[in-house]
Amino acid sequence: MTRTMTAAIAALLVLAGAASPATATSRIKDLANIEGVRQNQLIGYGLVVGLNGTGDTLNNIPFTRQSLQAMLERLGVNIRGQQIRTGNVAAVMVTANLPAFGTQGTRIDVTVSALGDSKSLQGGTLLVTPLLSADGNVYAVAQGSLAISGFQAEGEAAKIVRGVPTVGRISNGAIIEREIEFTLNRMGQIRLALRNPDFTTARRIATSINDFIGSPTAEPLDPSTVQLTIPKQFQGNVVALLTEIEQLQVEPDLSAKVVIDERSGIIVMGRDVRVSTVAVAQGNLTVTISEAPQVSQPQPLSRGQTRVVARSRVGVQEDGKRLALVREGVSLQQLVDGLNALGIGPRDLISILQAIKAAGAIQADIEVM
């Protein structure tokens, strides 16, 4: 990670600590989902044809050959016992998301992924493919020409690949054939599912809804669920109630947490992270090894041999002999400033935060990704 990126991350942390939490409000629409209003995943198996010799190798991929034979037999072409040689067909998996309240005849996008040893799906056309859900029923049918973002080109001695040419997308490539019955307007109670479960946030959402309606209709059941009883004036018209509720502003409560990604060196700290009085020292041990081989030649008219003699120089240097004091109850900005005063990078900062946590001097959860 470069010094510029390190400085940018430090600046973002300082700004996060300096920001005032009083204006950090969000809509209920952005904090919770309506139970039952959700997408459903669909999957299907199909064939892509029209490839320019980049399809599956039928001798190596038996399911592609069997699928091609079965499709041709349904179309009245009997090729059983015949040897098929074509590189223009590929077996694929088709995936899509059925949106909430998707109506029959509506089109949705689909993603097509190669299943065999196809090199590229560019220029291919997906044949009619039923899309099933977890209950085994067909909810949509997909077909159309693929759009590929990647490509592959190769010669006898070189090959170049950009993106992923074995995955494509068909915009509006599937038609919904079956609807999922969900009568939202007839419900007497609905539940709000918090995206980030928290007792305080659930209580604030219920209080905001009750203040808006003027009666105790909302009740937090647990940190992730708020139950709402439909008032009489909105019975039979739940959509109108949800339209008003989802625009209410609520200040979400955040737990003190430090998230660390050791692979990339990214550290994210919550605004409520606090530490007790602790002294931090950080030292870097640098070991330098340099090689300077020399040539050893024998004396004239001697029977010796010319050889290369290794010459190595090893040096050890210890840097960062400094001790920083982080006082009790400091804010996020003061904590970052104190650690930055040591002149350390994100990698060393991760180790320091974990050591402070092990000493019991940091009041926050540390989550390592």
> In 3-state terms, what secondary structure has residue 32?
strand
Cα gap 117→180, rounded to integer Å: 36
Which single residue is written with the structure tokens 């940018």?
8
Average pLDDT, the chain: 81
All domains of the chain in start order, with CATH: 3-17+256-368 (no CATH), 25-37+183-250 (3.90.1150), 40-176 (no CATH)
Return the closest-CA partner of residue 217 out of 258, 188, 249.
188
Tell if the pTM clears 0.75, that is, is over it. Answer: no
Instruction: Summarize pLDDT for 310-346 with one digit per residue, the tens.
Output: 666 656 555 555 555 556 666 656 666 666 666 666 7
Instruction: Summarize pLDDT for 68-91 with one digit per residue, the tens.
Output: 999 998 888 888 777 888 889 999
Query: Token digits for 5?
Result: 């990126």
Average pLDDT (206-234) is 93
Cα gap 192→226, rounded to integer Å: 5
Tell me if 226 sits within 8 A of 194, measured CB to CB: yes
Question: Which residues in 80-99 are b (16+ Cβ under 10 Å) and which e?
Answer: eeeeeeeeebbbbebebebe
Average pLDDT (244-259) is 88
Instruction: Summarize pLDDT for 23-41 with one digit per residue, the tens.
Output: 578 999 999 999 888 899 9
Tell me if 242 sits within 8 A of 34, measured CB to CB: yes
Cα gap 334→364, rounded to integer Å: 16
Tell me if 116 sits within 8 A of 64, measured CB to CB: yes
Cα gap 166→119, rounded to integer Å: 6
Binning pLDDT at 50, 70 and 90, where does residue 111 land? Answer: very high
Query: Token digits for 147?
Result: 């759009």
Average pLDDT (259-264) is 79
- Phi-psi bin for 320: left (phi > 0), alpha (psi -120 to 50), beta? left
